[in-house]
């Protein structure tokens, strides 16, 4: 099991994105590699990867009205791994389980 904290890494590198505000913060596979390296995390085949994006903090500090507003958006403005073929290939060939 591996834990990668994109939220604090982004702040450290000048990107103070909000977990659920537009435009949505999309995390590239290159960024995942950078974050893992910077945090001394070695991703290995079969690992479960837990990715901190700040969503839980946002959820815990938001009222019901704000949560409903975000839930109704399509596509949602929620931080996460970018939805590209490259991302799918990265996860597939790394044989990782991802929890965001």
Q: Look at the chain and report how many structural domains it folds into.
A: 1
| Residue ranges in 25-84 assigned as alpha helix (H) | 29-38, 55-60, 64-71
User: Going edge to edge, which strands form the sheet with 97-99?
Assistant: 2-5, 48-52, 97-99
Per-residue model confidence (pLDDT) at position 1 = 85
Per-residue model confidence (pLDDT) at position 100 = 60
Per-residue model confidence (pLDDT) at position 94 = 80
Per-residue model confidence (pLDDT) at position 91 = 85
Per-residue model confidence (pLDDT) at position 74 = 87
d(CA 36, CA 30): 10
Query: Domain containing 56: what range?
Result: 2-99
Tell me the mean pLDDT per 10 residues along the chain, length 100.
93 92 91 95 88 94 95 90 92 75
């Amino acid at each position: 099991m591996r834990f990668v904290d994109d939220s604090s890494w982004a702040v450290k590198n000048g990107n103070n994105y909000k977990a659920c505000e537009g435009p949505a913060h999309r995390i590239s596979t290159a960024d995942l590699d950078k974050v893992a390296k910077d945090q001394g995390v070695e991703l290995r085949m079969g690992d479960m990867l837990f990715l901190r994006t700040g969503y839980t903090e946002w959820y815990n500090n938001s009222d019901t009205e704000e949560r409903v507003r975000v839930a109704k958006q399509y596509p949602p403005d929620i931080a996460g791994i970018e939805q590209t073929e490259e991302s799918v290939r990265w996860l597939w060939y790394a044989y990782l389980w991802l929890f965001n």
